Structure 1
Amino acid sequence: MKNLFIKLPFFLVLTLFLACGNKTETNPQESAPVADVEVTEAQFKNASMQLAGLTEAVFPDWVEASGMIDVPPENRAVITPYLGGYVRDNPLLIGDAVKKGQPLITLENPEFVSLQQQFQELGEQLEYLKSEYERQQTLAAENITSKKNFLKAESEYKRSLATYNGLQKQLQLLNISTTQAMQGNYSSLARIYAPINGTIARTFVSKGSYVSPADPLMEIVDIEHIHLELKVFEKDMLKVKKDQAIAFKIPESSPDYYDGTVHLIGNSLDIEGRTVTVHGHIDNERGTPHFAVGMFIEARINTGETEALALPETAVVNLGESYYALQLQEQKDGSYRFDRVEIKPGKTQNGMTEILNAAELPKDAQYLSKGAFELIQE
């Protein structure tokens, strides 16, 4: 019993100490707004201050996307030779404008002469082979000659005709005149012409270099019609529909936004990035700045609208990492008393800012909508 009486006071003291410690940790006044701004009626009027309450406003819903300025595949051409050769002439520079059918590069190769020579020789032989084939056909029909002779004449004529047509096609691809070749006017030069209108985007060869068949020589891009190639994440792809509005900007060049429209939505998911490609058209394309193909863009695709409680944009003031508004607490004796309350802003549209924590605020409260920035900053 003696030990029990000794320990009991110590236990009571310890309990009281812990209770006091817990009480000091929770201060109900910490979360309450502090009345820290008071304005006289004269100041309120002279500064043209205004009050506003929480009101319903419409805000757009959007999907974030990124991508680049691009052109359709038919507006881009990579120039390659059908046969190899040395670059004899390459006068164009990056940025030069070209028209469809304009000479771009001249190649030189002795093999071009050999092709023309073979073509001429076969062309001259064809007349004889054709007449011999027709003669043997007539004789075979009258049983004057053997079928073997007829088949031989037919085979030689058709084989030579096929070779002649093949050589003619090669010379046409090289843009070498077959008419001049038949007259014995051979050329060791082959010119390559622009297949589309556009500007030179890249060049890969220089004068005197040798290029093999299918080696890229240059790239032409027609920027008459540019478009947006956007990447949308998998989680957002079902929200995107054709004809939805796009707002995009070139973050490295300007903060200004430009308008576009969703035109096509890909149906294949990029497994690595978990994104789908969205093709967008630019509104008022001719009225926009000179965009360059390959420019990085940031975009918002408008997927709908949401109604939310909001305050005028001028009522919400940013202080460091937090946002505040001045809530009217009392108006009497020719003065206005405001409390500074923390605000969690959402989207801003048409001068109104969405208030995400509106449910925590009094519905009928009034806020300083004009002049709040100066008073909070003081």
Structure 2
Amino acid sequence: MKNIFLKLNYNLASFFSFFILFSILFFLTSCGEKKTEELHEEEKSENEVALTGSQFKTVGIEFGSVENRNLNLVIKANGYTTVPPQNMANISTLIGGTVKDILVLEGTFVNKGKVLATIQNLEVVEMQEDYNSAIANIEFLQLEFNRQKTLSDENVNPRKTFQEVKSKLAVEKARAQAAKNKLQALNMTTNGSSLVPIVSPISGYVGKISIAKGAFAETGTILFEVVDNSQMHLDLNVYEKDLGSISIGQTIDFILTNQGNKSIKGKIFGINKSFSNESKTVAVHAKINANDAKDLISGMYVSANINITNATVPALPKDAIVRNGDKYFIFIQDLAHIEKEEKHTETSKEHNEVHFKAIEVMPGTTDLGYTEVKFVEAVPANAKIVVKGAFYLLSAMKGGGTHEH
């Protein structure tokens, strides 16, 4: 009897030990699963957001889907307005002198040949005297040449005398031509005053004036700048990776970065065959429409789109794409939550919520209000994509949203 009692106590102790061990294991497993579920829910909430029914109506969320759109593909480039070298003149003088008069103001338009200023130099008087003296000698020597030639042909005078007169005539003609060339280079006539005119070689607008009345103008020093803006064009910096898509004749649209968002058109007419600088960019030259170029000045900074071609690509309205840091996202309605909500009763708190999930995308070109999209991760074919209200969803997601668990 005693042995039976001891055996019964042993069995009861074993049963209670097994029951306690089982309870501990069950508790640990439940905690682990709960912790895993909490971590899973926390991870999911980083790219999820939920709106209540009233919030959904207030925000005005609208859905759409990816469309195949014929978009104008572009290459973006930055650059400056500039004018060709032949349309810009830095004017100096070939002979030094004292500035007598300045006849123009900065910003005024001048025609080619317009006298901008005059400088005084007595050396030009000597040039005029040399020319006139040579002309007088030429007249005398020409008569003597004709006489000596006649006598030489009749063998009256030695031929040596005729050759001496011929040589002197050639020297005086050369001296007269040299003096005339000097005067013409200074835009002066063979008869006139000691005032040397400073003449504009092109038509355009007077830029900086670097002289003052009474000052001494030295040779080689720039006195005036004149710019013809009618031939204004762009110098755009295009990266090496985009060169294969650039060709002469392509159109561009550009805006002046510091002058509002008015779009101006142009056309590519030249592509450099060497790199411009250490940034590995190549200069692409584009002519600006004449009507738009008249109000531009050289050196304006521009942002341009080089139009490449039309292509059919998957696209969404541009408002459907939002930026978070250095990544871009769209929002789709979370179908997994819809299935979950259908299993709850009408009194469930989740039943009145609409859940959304952020999907990372890579945007492409934007044209006519649509932006090309490439999906980083696959989305269901029947996904309901938010095309209006995406910015509000991003703000809610960044602020913790209204998601409740």
Q: Is the 8 A contact 1:328 1:336 kept in 2?
A: no
Match of 2:23 in 1: none
Q: Which runs of structure 2 are paired with 1:106-117 in the superposition (5 Å)?
A: 106-117=118-129
Match of 1:239 in 2: 245
> How far apart in 2 are the matches of 1:335 and 1:289?
61
The count of residues paired between Structure 1 and Structure 2 equals: 348
Query: Does 2:351 match 1:338?
Result: no
Task: Classify 1:144/1:213 alpha carbon distance in 2 versus 1 (closer, same or farther; 3 Å).
Answer: farther
Q: Which runs of 5+ in 2 are unaligned?
A: 1-31, 397-405
Match of 2:387 in 1: 369
Query: Does 2:74 match 1:62?
Result: yes
Q: Is the 8 A contact 1:343 1:355 kept in 2?
A: no
Q: Give the share of equivalent positions with the same residue, in percent.
A: 29
TM-superposed CA distance for 1:45, in Å, is 6.3
Q: Which runs of 5+ in 1 are unaligned?
A: 1-19
Match of 2:400 in 1: none
Which residue of 20, 23, 37 maps to 2:50?
37
Match of 2:62 in 1: 50
Query: Does 2:169 match 1:157?
Result: yes
> How far apart in 2 are the matches of 1:326 and 1:51?
10
Match of 2:25 in 1: none
* Partner amino acid, structure 1, of 2:384: Q
* Partner amino acid, structure 2, of 1:352: Y
Tell me the TM-score normalized by structure 1. 0.81
> How far apart in 2 are the matches of 1:366 and 1:245?
37
Match of 2:131 in 1: 119
Match of 1:224 in 2: 230
> How far apart in 1 are the matches of 2:299 and 2:263?
18
TM-superposed CA distance for 1:371, in Å, is 3.0
Larger radius of gyration: 2
Deviates more, 1:243-252 or 1:45-54: 45-54
Query: Does 2:157 match 1:145?
Result: yes
Q: Deviations over 1:278-333 (max 9, x none)?
A: 210124x4246821111122223222345433322222334455544331235678
Q: Deviations over 1:242-266 (max 9, x none)?
A: 1112122222333443222112222
TM-superposed CA distance for 1:158, in Å, is 0.7
Deviates more, 1:160-169 or 1:187-196: 187-196
Task: Classify 1:49/1:270 alpha carbon distance in 2 versus 1 (closer, same or farther; 3 Å).
Answer: closer
Paired residue secondary structure (2:257): coil
By percentage of residues, which structure has more helix? 2
Query: Does 2:182 match 1:170?
Result: yes
Query: Does 2:368 match 1:350?
Result: yes
> How far apart in 2 are the matches of 1:272 and 1:37?
50
Q: Is the 8 A contact 2:250 2:267 kept in 1?
A: yes
Match of 2:378 in 1: 360
Paired residue secondary structure (1:360): coil
> How far apart in 2 are the matches of 1:55 and 1:318?
21
Query: Does 2:273 match 1:267?
Result: yes
> How far apart in 1 are the matches of 2:314 and 2:265?
27
Q: Is the 8 A contact 1:136 1:150 kept in 2?
A: yes
Q: Is the 8 A contact 1:204 1:218 kept in 2?
A: yes
TM-superposed CA distance for 1:156, in Å, is 0.3
* Partner amino acid, structure 2, of 1:346: P
